[in-house]
Amino acid sequence: MQPFRAKSFDPLVALLIALSAIVVLAAKPAQSASTEQETMRRLAQLRAIPADSTPEQLRQHNEQMDDAWQFYHAHRDETMPVLRRELAAELRKPKPAQLLLLDVASYFYLDGTADDRKAATQALLAIDPDAPLIQTNFDQLFRLTHGLASAGDPRVIGYIDRTFLPTERGVFYSEQSLTLNPTLMCAFLYGVYGADGERHLQSKLNDRDLAERVLEVLKWIGSPDSVSAVRASMTAQSDYDLFSRELTFMMVNGGPQGREAMLHLDPARLDAKSQQQYEKVKPAIEGQNYAQLRKKFDSFAGERKVDDEQLKERLAKMYESYGKDSRLNPQALLDSALPKELLITELMRIRTRMFMRVSNETLSDVELTNAVLNTLRYRDR
């Protein structure tokens, strides 16, 4: 093998290489400038959308938004600094462009860093939910709020109080063919906060304008921890609409504490219609016990016998998969030798994670989990 010999230096080749490098270096700033201009153009489109947009204008906006997000993602290194700068500048304005806040914050949540999501939260808190363009894009507002609430930011829960708890609007998830009414929206929004969301809602029970909605939401996210607060609201207010929701919460989520609260209720505090309903259902309240509740799971399919150590592993996997486990029969939990408090704690953690995925399946999973939780609370140990 001949020894390696370097080729002789060619000044012309060297000159061509140098010129190529200059072209590349010159092209990159030019491309960045072009990308910035295009990003600014797309943001200007958002600012220019009139508050009284027609359906056709809104359809065009949605197409522009989808196209813009694809552009941002395809040129992420160049567009993100521009978007960060422009969002920060918009937030400093006395009257920021509402749709720009919503759009950029939504993009930051989906494709940004942890710091970008903090900026998205700042943008969310600056959004006026009553602004006409925001009302028209209420579905997107819900998605953004739910996504940011999933991080547990306590600032967002106040925004949920103001925007979603009193509303009569719903939202539609086209990919799920799922319509969420106001109660279900709030269940997903407060549900991701777990026990903190439940405690937060307890203080709203004394507001007559909100009490019915709060009770409906507690049916999804509540526990015996709310029994005393619900019982206190029953003594202060006594109409049938409230009573029927209080009764449902006590029997579905309240465990033995809820049952006892209903059995010791003073019917004289109720209106006539509520008294009639109470007398009608009182035998069922008296008869609710572990054996009666457990029978509801006799027809369920899935694994009925699971080793306790394996059950712990399955519960850990359910937590990681946001509550999904189609093979586990509820009776495996009810018949487990594991302490009921351990099982309840794990299921409550899993239920919180369930609310992070918005779907019809989640609603079924939460209902089943609540039924298992309520049954476990009647178990001796």
pTM for the full model?
A: 0.89
Q: What is the pLDDT of residues 271-327, one digit of tens each?
A: 999 999 999 999 999 999 999 999 999 989 888 889 999 999 999 999 999 998 878
The rounded percent of the chain whose pLDDT value lies above 90 is 77
Q: Which of the 8 DSSP states describes residue 7?
A: P
Q: What is the pLDDT of residues 12-50, one digit of tens each?
A: 434 433 444 344 444 444 455 699 999 999 999 888 888
Q: Residue 261 has which token pair?
A: 């609260």
- 276, 240 Cβ separation under 8 angstroms: no
d(CA 52, CA 43): 19
Task: In the chain, count H helices and then E strands.
Answer: 20, 2
Q: Which of the 8 DSSP states describes residue 364?
A: H
Q: What is the pLDDT of residues 345-367, one digit of tens each?
A: 999 999 999 999 999 999 999 99
How confident is the model at residue 32, as a pLDDT?
56
Q: Which of the 8 DSSP states describes residue 130?
A: T
Q: What is the pLDDT of residues 228-262, one digit of tens each?
A: 999 998 877 678 999 999 999 999 999 999 999 99
Task: Give helix 340-354 / helix 182-191 axis angle, nearest 10°.
Answer: 120
Task: Render 251-271 in DSSP notation, one character per residue.
Answer: HHTSHHHHHHHHHT--GGGS-
Radius of gyration of the chain (CA): 28
In degrees, rounded to 5, the angle at the alpha carbon of residue 88 between the alpha carbons of residues 85 and 94 is 135
Q: Residue 294 has which token pair?
A: 């457990």
Domain ranges of the chain: 36-45+56-153, 195-288, 296-378
